[in-house]
Amino acid sequence: MNAFISVVGRASRFFGMLAAFMIGLSVMVVCHLVFVRYVLRSPTAWQTELVTYLLVGATLVGSPYVLMIRGHVGVDLLPLYLSDGARRRLALGCALAGIIFCGVLLWSGLELWYEAWAGDWLSETVWAVPLWIPYASLPLGFGLMLLQYIADVLALLTGHAGAQR
């Protein structure tokens, strides 16, 4: 069980770093877009679409890392007034709700990705990106988030709740 928690933690860290790289790349592409469009007075075709895909992908694949370090916005008022046992049950219930939510979105994302791949969908822009590529961030991100929630549940059940932070 500890091995699973450790592997999921390493995967979450890796994809967190990948998300940071994607955000940095987005910033560089926007700088390129501004320079080409306003200094060189040349039209741009691919930059806006790439930045959109990169930022959405970074959000999805980076979310498990944010969950692991407890970086999501949360309201701690109720847990502060609960006993340790009630606080643990609340955390378990929230994690189980997250597992269900991520499972549904993983399934829907897989269906959408497969339809885009099998149907050879292309974006309706000049760049005509095969949409299975950006759509892959949906099942990947929600699959990783699902694994992170499962690792959180296992950590709670085994008493290693702070092991991943």
> 95-115 pLDDT, tens per residue?
999 999 999 999 999 999 999
130 phi, psi to nearest 5 deg: -65, 120
| pLDDT band with cut points at 50, 70 and 90 for residue 124 | very high
Whether residue 75 has pLDDT greater than 80: no
Most distant CA pair in the chain, distance: 64
Q: Is the pLDDT of residue 91 over 50?
A: yes
Given a cut of 50, is residue 146 above it in pLDDT?
Answer: yes
Provide the pLDDT for residue 163. Answer: 47
Q: Residue 73 pLDDT > 80, yes or no?
A: no
> What pLDDT score does 161 carry?
60
7: three-class secondary structure by DSSP: helix
Over residues 30-36, the mean pLDDT reads 95
Q: Distance (Å, rounded) from C-alpha 81 to C-alpha 77? A: 7
CA 100 – CA 108 distance, rounded (Å)? 12
